[in-house]
């Protein structure tokens, strides 16, 4: 998320009462979780496994729970609980706004767009031209909808990321400050949910079509002209490239890439990145022909077992 105005290291550290290392006038222009950081961003790290990744990332400022020498061109903020302090900053820069009506006065709605009864449009939402938003759709704050988009009843656009940190007393919520961005000519099925990014954008590319009951997790980027069948669930921080076809009831794990033009057959489970231009099936998903051969062999196991038992009995 980009900040509305650049802020200094000294001022940011003051907001969370933390010590810092670096030029007090070091400038911070955005706030982002580690997988989306850019130059000028502040991020956090609270586990030794990820110290090096954070310190060598594009982030200009890192909230960290161990004192390191400050890398050139960066700034460090020292905290006993970086997750807590990061969430404090998110809440400060993306304050929750209560909605007082079904269509916010701050929403921008393009010419020719139709809103059916009981549509909820949150604060600072932008909707393009000639869209049809069917009854009971909810579009959360800061979401962006392109032109010629169709969203069917009871879909939810821009709900919070499913992201929690486990603590001894329970789970602490990672507050979301990203957006959901729906590009032109997209159609979204009934009862589909597209979560906003934690700090960046969840993006549905131009011309993509989603069936009913599809779940798209935070910070996932779906390319152009993708088809996704009913009851599919896509975890966060996943990239689905252009022209992919995902049939019904497919589940896709987080942090993976589905290559351009891949086809994933119904009821498959994807646990690793897949090359483009191939057809996949199964749990875990693999190239379909290979998987079908495996299934054919499995069906022959009783016959093979019977033959082996017969041979054993003859020898004995």
What is the predicted pLDDT for the residue at 281? 97
Pick the CATH number of 108-237 from 1.10.357.10, 2.160.10.10, 3.40.50.720, 3.40.710.10: 2.160.10.10
More confident site: 314 or 95: 95
Share of the chain above pLDDT 90, in %: 89
Indicate whether 312 pLDDT > 80. no
Mean pLDDT of 245-274: 97
Q: How many residues does the chain have?
A: 316
CATH number attached to the domain at 2-93: 3.40.1390.10
Query: For residue 316, what pLDDT band results from cuts at 50, 70 and 90?
Result: low
Whether the CB-CB separation of 294 and 300 falls below 8 Å is answered with no
What is the predicted pLDDT for the residue at 150? 98
Has this prediction a pTM greater than 0.85? yes
Mean pLDDT of 55-62: 94
Indicate whether 303 pLDDT > 90. no
- CA–CA dist 51, 66 (Å, integer): 9
Helix (H, G, I), strand (E, B), or coil: what is residue 173? strand
Helices (H), 120-216: none
Cis peptide before 138 (omega within 30 of 0): no
Instruction: Count how many Cα atoms sit within 13 Å of the Cα of residue 224 in the half-sphere of its side chain.
Output: 3
Query: For residue 91, what pLDDT band results from cuts at 50, 70 and 90?
Result: very high
Residue 143: count of CB within 10 angstroms of its CB: 26
- CA–CA dist 115, 120 (Å, integer): 9
pLDDT tens per residue, range 171-208: 999 999 999 999 999 999 999 999 999 999 999 999 99
Whether the CB-CB separation of 231 and 209 falls below 8 Å is answered with no
Tokens linked to 245: 């076809």
What is the predicted pLDDT for the residue at 311? 77
- CA–CA dist 30, 3 (Å, integer): 5
- CA–CA dist 280, 258 (Å, integer): 11
What is the predicted pLDDT for the residue at 301? 83
- In sequence order, what are the beta bridge partners of 181? 144, 203
Residues 6+ apart with CB under 8 A from 269: 250, 251, 282, 283, 284, 285
Which helix (H) or strand (E) segment holds residue 27: the answer is strand 27-31
Helices (H), the chain: 9-15, 51-55, 82-93, 288-315
Indicate whether 2 pLDDT > 80. yes
pLDDT tens per residue, range 162-175: 999 998 999 999 99
Query: For residue 35, what pLDDT band results from cuts at 50, 70 and 90?
Result: confident
What is the predicted pLDDT for the residue at 46? 93
Helix (H, G, I), strand (E, B), or coil: what is residue 14? helix
Residues 6+ apart with CB under 8 A from 252: 232, 233, 234, 235, 238, 240, 246, 258, 264, 270
What is the predicted pLDDT for the residue at 31? 95
pLDDT tens per residue, range 205-250: 999 999 999 999 999 999 999 999 999 999 999 999 999 999 999 9
Indicate whether 261 pLDDT > 80. yes
Indicate whether 314 pLDDT > 80. no
Active centre residues (catalytic): 218
* Domain ranges (residues) in the chain: 2-93, 108-237
pLDDT tens per residue, range 129-174: 999 999 999 999 999 999 999 999 999 999 999 999 998 999 999 9
């Amino acid at each position: 998320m980009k900040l509305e105005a650049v802020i200094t290291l000294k001022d940011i550290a003051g907001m969370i009462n933390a010590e810092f290392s670096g030029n007090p006038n070091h400038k911070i222009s955005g706030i982002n979780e580690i997988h989306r950081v850019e130059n000028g961003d502040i991020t956090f790290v609270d586990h030794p496994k990820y110290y090096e990744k954070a310190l060598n990332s594009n982030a200009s400022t890192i909230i960290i729970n161990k004192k390191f020498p400050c890398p050139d061109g960066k700034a460090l903020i020292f905290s006993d609980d970086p997750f807590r302090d990061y969430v404090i900053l998110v809440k400060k820069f993306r304050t929750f706004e209560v909605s007082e009506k079904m269509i916010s006065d701050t929403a921008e709605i393009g010419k020719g767009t139709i809103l059916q009864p009981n549509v909820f449009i949150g604060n600072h939402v932008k909707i393009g031209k000639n869209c049809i938003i069917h009854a009971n759709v909810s579009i959360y704050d800061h979401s962006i909808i392109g032109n010629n988009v169709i969203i069917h009843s009871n879909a939810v656009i821009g709900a919070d990321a499913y992201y929690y940190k486990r603590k001894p007393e329970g789970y602490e919520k990672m507050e979301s400050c990203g957006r959901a961005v729906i590009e032109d000519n997209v159609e979204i099925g009934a009862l589909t949910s597209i979560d906003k990014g934690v700090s960046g954008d969840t993006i549905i590319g131009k011309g993509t079509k989603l069936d009913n009951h599809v779940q798209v997790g935070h910070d996932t980027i779906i390319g152009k002209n993708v088809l996704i069948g009913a009851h599919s669930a896509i975890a966060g921080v996943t990239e689905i490239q252009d022209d992919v076809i995902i049939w019904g009831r497919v589940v896709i794990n987080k942090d993976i890439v589905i290559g351009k033009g891949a086809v994933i057959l119904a009821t498959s489970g994807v646990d690793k990145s897949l090359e483009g231009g191939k057809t996949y099936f199964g749990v875990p998903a693999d190239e379909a022909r290979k998987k079908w051969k495996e299934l054919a062999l499995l069906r022959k196991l009783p016959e093979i077992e019977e033959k082996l038992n017969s041979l054993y009995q003859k020898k004995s």
